[in-house]
Amino acid sequence: MATEEVDPRFADLDAWSMPSAMEAMWEGQLAAVAAVGRALPAITEAANAATEALGDRGRLIYVGAGTSGRVAVQDGAELTPTFAWPQERVHFIIAGGESAFVASVEGAEDDVADAVKQIDAARLSPHDVVIAVAASGTTPFTVTALQQAGMSRAVTIGVANNHGTALLTSAKYPVMVETGPELIAGSTRMKAGTAQKVVLNLISTGIMLRLGRVYRGMMVNMQVTNAKLKRRAEAMVARIAGCSEAQAASALAQTDGDIKMAALVVLGYEVTEAASILANHKGNLRRVFDDLS
Selected catalytic residue, list 5, 23, 52, 109: 109
Q: How many CA atoms lie within 13 A of 181 on its CB side?
A: 10
Taking alpha carbons only, the member of 176, 202, 155, 197 closest to residue 42 is 176
- Contact between 72 and 129 under an 8 Å Cβ cutoff? The reply is no
Q: What are phi and psi of 157, to 5 degrees?
A: -120, 125
Taking alpha carbons only, the member of 46, 33, 25, 21 closest to residue 178 is 33
Q: What is the DSSP string of 5-20?
A: S--GGGTTGGGS-HHH
For the question of residue 270 being annotated catalytic, the response is: no
For the question of residue 98 being annotated catalytic, the response is: no
Determine the Cα–Cα distance for residues 243 and 263; give it in Å rounded to an integer: 9
Determine the Cα–Cα distance for residues 105 and 97; give it in Å rounded to an integer: 9
Selected catalytic residue, list 78, 234, 245, 270: 78
- Contact between 31 and 25 under an 8 Å Cβ cutoff? The reply is no
Sign of CA dihedral 34, 32, 36, 179: positive
Determine the Cα–Cα distance for residues 283 and 263; give it in Å rounded to an integer: 13
Burial code of 136-153, b = ≥16 C-beta within 10 A, e = fewer?
Answer: bbbbbbbbbbbbbbbebe
Catalytic positions are 78, 109
